[in-house]
Structure 1
Amino acid sequence: MAEKKNLLTREGLRKLEDELQDLKVNRRQEIAQKIKEAREQGDLSENAEYDAAKDEQRDIEARIEEIEKILKYAEVADEEEVEQGVVNFGSEVSILDIDMDEVNTFKIVGSTESNILEGKLSNESPLGMAILKKRVGETVTVEAPDGNFDYRILDIR
């Protein structure tokens, strides 16, 4: 089975590459030093610092592996070659939650880099899928377990 492509923005790709570099160059060295210092304390069977450092090392190696897999299947969306006037991958969109009378602004990104607290909405989320290829002024309805929610697109950048 073919591996699913990880759609990323240029910014998302750069952040992952920077994180990977930091993990490989800096964090690996830091954790190796912590392990060395913990070993020097003697008996490893009752050495909490050693156990904590080994756990941290496992976490770092797992994150390195995760990022390498994401990057292996990464596809960077060309944000310059998109249809103008509609919501695209990489667009920044202001929408009105009609029921709550609340305006929110999101950047449409891939699921790998989505983070609603940072205003990054996945193109694969129900709202992301509903607003893709829509224009300013259009209203969309998102079906959710709690009911239907209506949104109006106010601005696309």
Structure 2
Amino acid sequence: MTSIPISQEGYKLMKKELDSLKKQRPEVSEAIRLAREEGDLRENGGYHAARERQGMMEARINFIESRMARYNVIDMKTLGGEKISFGATVELEDVESGEKKRYTLLGPDETGFCKGSVSIQSPVGLALLGKSVGDEVVIQVPRGRVEYEVLSIAFNGPAITLDEE
């Protein structure tokens, strides 16, 4: 079983989502029960919508629970170095156009929480891993192959801000 890197903040957000989904279970079950009481289930849109919501919710719960045991939780404040790795914020320049891009490399389950992030398991993330400032990297993107130069690498600590309750 392969471990999945995730920041402490990303882990907390995944746990929060899981807890929230589990709290919704009784509400969804009640919606199904009420819709069932309306009669013929074949033409009961409310019943089918509630069952679909339940199915999607349970699938997400199962997905998160299956990954929780595989998470390798990383404290972003302890990261550093001169090579691109998990937690690095990287500035790149397109060698041809001069366009600059900035990415923070995070785990695949937390990139949706952080604008400007990319999964270390994505083609872009995999191409960047291990590179240093000044290195050139070729990345396959939808428009074709693009060559970038690594301009800077920084480890800025948490990439995701949490609203502490």
The verdict on how the C-alpha distance between 1:42 and 1:145 changes in structure 2, with shifts beyond 3 A counting, is closer
SS at match of 2:76: coil
Q: 2:25 aligns with which of 28, 34, 52?
A: 28
SS at match of 2:130: coil
Deviation at 1:150, TM superposition (A): 1.0
2:158 paired residue number = none
11-20 or 79-88, larger mean C-alpha shift: 79-88
Unaligned runs of 5+ in 2: 155-165
Is the CA contact 2:82–2:132 (under 8 Å) kept in the aligned structure 1?
yes
Question: Do structure 1's residue 65 and structure 2's residue 62 form an aligned pair?
Answer: yes
Name which structure has the greater RCO, CA cutoff 8 Å, separation 6+.
Answer: 2
Moved >4 Å (runs of 4+)? 143-147
SS at match of 1:124: coil
- How is 1:1-157 mapped onto 2 (pairs within 5 angstroms)? 3-25=1-23, 27-115=24-112, 118-142=115-139, 147-157=144-154
Is the CA contact 2:79–2:87 (under 8 Å) kept in the aligned structure 1?
no
State the superposition RMSD in angstroms. 2.4
Looking at structure 2, the residues matched to 10 and 102 of structure 1 have their Cα atoms a distance apart, in angstroms, of 32
The verdict on how the C-alpha distance between 1:104 and 1:144 changes in structure 2, with shifts beyond 3 A counting, is closer
The verdict on how the C-alpha distance between 1:49 and 1:83 changes in structure 2, with shifts beyond 3 A counting, is same
Is the CA contact 2:83–2:129 (under 8 Å) kept in the aligned structure 1?
yes
145-154 or 96-105, larger mean C-alpha shift: 145-154
TM-score normalized with structure 1 length: 0.83
Q: State the AA in 1 paired with 2:22.
A: K
Percent identity between matched residues is: 34
SS at match of 1:118: coil
Unaligned runs of 5+ in 1: none
